[in-house]
Amino acid sequence: MRINVDVFAELIDVQPGEIVWAVNHGNKLEGIELPPSQRGIKNVRYKGPNSLTFEVTAAMNFAKEFKARKGKAGSRNLSARNE
């Protein structure tokens, strides 16, 4: 099963454009390799590019790692402020 870039972005709390940019520029988001992506089915009513999709299991695994790293970075910043 696949999810589109909008759902994936909500999952990791970033803007969809950040993911699209990362896919087109090295396939890394904040230093973490993004899961493999592919262009989905073209929307007949929309003349733009095909939608960007990700395999749901790979996206969930990425989200866990991404949130864990963001949490560690955030906790370090908070401790620095308290000192």
Tens-place pLDDT, residues 50-83:
788 999 999 999 999 999 988 776 555 444 444 4
Q: Could you tell me the residue ranges of all domains in the chain?
A: 2-82
pTM over 0.85: no
CA distances to 9, 48, 74, 76, 79 from 82, rounded to whole Å, are: 31, 48, 13, 10, 5
Q: Can you list the positions of beta strands (E) in 15-73? A: 28-29, 32-33, 37-39, 52-55
Residue 34 · residue 66 · CB < 8 Å: no
Q: Which amino acid is at 63?
A: A
Burial environment of residue 54 by CB neighbours within 10 A (0 to 12, 13 to 18, 19 or more): buried
Tens-place pLDDT, residues 8-19:
999 999 999 999
